[in-house]
């Protein structure tokens, strides 16, 4: 196994491996990366049923979906580990998508004040984005990811062969985060996704493997510069301020990637309105995301006041200001002189939200 990249953090670094067949080697990899550790796997019931692994260890399962990313489920998992007598020699293997990674990582970060963990993403969204960066946490009634910790894994093992179990909408939702990486850091990568949209959406594994490698490389470079999101790492939140509000208003019924797709377009419209972005950027994003069969506009039934209220709980909010990570053009973000976020007034935001809802009605 050769890592494609190492992600730097305050006390060292961890490797990211992207290679077909890694799941078949999971037992050997875990023994190498977590020697002399008593292992427990945290996964969800869907992944546990579809993805085979060769480890005979305690397996703690949760229901699939954002509903499991809660303090109640975190408490239940930590209590179960205590019931099973896991001590300081314990380690966690997070086997699943982004929800499992965030939840299991937070269990590892907090159990006995911190134990090691291994990230094994099985969804495209988790492979290209959520598994890299060391963010862990759970949701609250006030919003997503508001309780958590930075706790890097010992390694990330991404097996593109696991993506063969995903349906077209799941692939499409995961591709949105890769599009985001092109928007924030690499215009050529964005155009590559654009050219290969049909093959990616059809699940062609060589293309998906290349996509994972490119996205991980981009994200690793950014988070290595700014582990705890004090500066440039904020650009990775592009599309997410609106997306998290949509998720909250819809009760997390919309897939995360679909919410981000809408968020990217709406926030590009906001950047154009503020004179930060080149004209036509939102249209370019809308066309590319539409080619990936993703939604691109706010729905009329989503209450604007509720969306604004949800955004006020975003982690980037400061005092009375809403702050956004906004694009200037493909591969370039605004805010280099203001910690990579831009303050936006409620009136400016209301105008863009209204236009996006009107576009949905017209279509």
In tens, the pLDDT along 216-258 reads 999 999 999 888 888 899 999 999 999 999 999 999 999 999 9
The set of catalytic residues is 113, 135, 177, 219, 229, 233, 237, 240, 244, 256
pLDDT tens by residue, 262-305: 999 999 999 999 999 989 999 999 999 999 999 999 999 998 89
Q: Which residue did the predictor score with more confidence, 313 or 109?
A: 109
**Residue 167: which H helix or E strand, with range?**
none
Contact between residue 92 and residue 119 where contact means Cβ atoms under 8 Å apart: no
* CA atoms of 152 and 150, how far apart (whole Å): 6
Please provide the CATH number assigned to the domain covering 5-165: 3.40.50.1970
* CA atoms of 182 and 64, how far apart (whole Å): 29
Q: Where are the beta strands (DSSP E) in the chain?
A: 5-9, 12-18, 38-44, 58-62, 90-96, 117-121, 135-140, 143-150, 155-158, 322-324, 327-329, 332-333, 342-344
What residue ranges of the chain are covered by domains with CATH 3.40.50.1970?
5-165
pLDDT tens by residue, 111-160: 999 999 999 999 999 999 999 999 999 999 888 899 999 999 999 999 99
Rg (CA), the chain: 20
Residue-averaged pLDDT of the chain: 93
Distances (CA, A) of 36 to 82, 106, 185, 242: 19, 22, 40, 44
Topology, domain 168-362: Dehydroquinate synthase-like, alpha domain (1.20.1090)
Question: In angstroms, how far is CA 145 from the centroid of its own chain?
Answer: 11
What residue ranges of the chain are covered by domains with CATH 1.20.1090.10?
168-362
Query: How many residues comprise the chain?
Result: 363
- Kindly state the percentage of the chain with pLDDT values over 70: 96
CA-based end-to-end distance of the chain = 49
In the structure, what pLDDT confidence band is assigned to residue 182 with cuts at 50, 70 and 90?
Answer: very high
Cα Dmax for the chain: 61
- Whether the predicted pLDDT of 107 surpasses 80: yes
* CA atoms of 363 and 343, how far apart (whole Å): 30
- Whether the predicted pLDDT of 363 surpasses 70: no
Strand partners, 138: 147
pTM: predicted TM-score of the whole model, two decimal places:
0.92
In the structure, what pLDDT confidence band is assigned to residue 351 with cuts at 50, 70 and 90?
Answer: confident
Strand partners, 136: 149
């Amino acid at each position: 196994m050769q890592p494609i990249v190492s992600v730097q953090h305050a006390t060292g670094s961890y490797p990211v491996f992207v290679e077909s067949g890694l799941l078949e080697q999971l037992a050997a990899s875990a023994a190498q990366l977590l020697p002399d550790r008593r292992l427990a796997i945290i996964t969800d019931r869907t992944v546990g049923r579809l993805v085979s692994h060769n480890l005979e260890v305690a397996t703690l399962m949760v229901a699939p979906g954002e509903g499991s990313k809660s303090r109640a489920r975190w408490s239940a998992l930590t209590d179960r580990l205590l019931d099973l007598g896991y001590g300081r020699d314990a380690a966690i293997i997070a086997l699943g998508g982004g929800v499992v990674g965030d939840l299991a990582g937070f269990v590892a970060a907090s159990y006995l004040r911190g134990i090691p963990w291994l990230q094994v993403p099985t969804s495209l969204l988790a492979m290209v984005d959520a598994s890299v960066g060391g963010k862990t946490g759970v949701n609250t009634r006030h919003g997503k990811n508001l309780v958590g910790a930075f706790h890097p894994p010992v390694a990330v093992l991404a097996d593109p062969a696991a993506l063969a179990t995903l349906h077209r909408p799941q692939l499409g939702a995961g591709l949105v985060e890769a599009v985001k990486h092109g928007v924030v850091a690499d215009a050529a990568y964005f155009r590559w996704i654009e050219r290969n949209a049909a093959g990616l959406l059809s699940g062609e594994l060589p293309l998906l493997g290349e996509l994972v490698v490119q996205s991980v490389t981009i994200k690793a470079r950014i988070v290595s510069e700014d582990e705890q999101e004090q500066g440039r790492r904020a650009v990775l939140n592009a599309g997410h301020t609106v997306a998290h509000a949509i998720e909250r208003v819809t009760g997390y019924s919309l897939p995360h990637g679909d919410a981000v797709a809408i968020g990217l377009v709406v926030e590009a419209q906001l950047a154009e309105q503020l004179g930060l972005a080149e004209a036509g950027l939102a249209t370019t994003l809308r066309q590319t995301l539409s080619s990936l069969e993703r939604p691109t506009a706010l729905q009329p039934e989503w209450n604007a006041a509720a969306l604004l209220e949800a955004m006020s709980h975003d982690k980037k909010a400061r005092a009375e200001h809403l702050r956004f990570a906004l694009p200037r053009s493909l591969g370039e973000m605004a805010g280099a002189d203001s910690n990579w976020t831009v303050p936006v007034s409620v009136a400016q935001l209301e105008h863009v939200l209204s236009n996006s809802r009107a576009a949905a009605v017209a279509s």
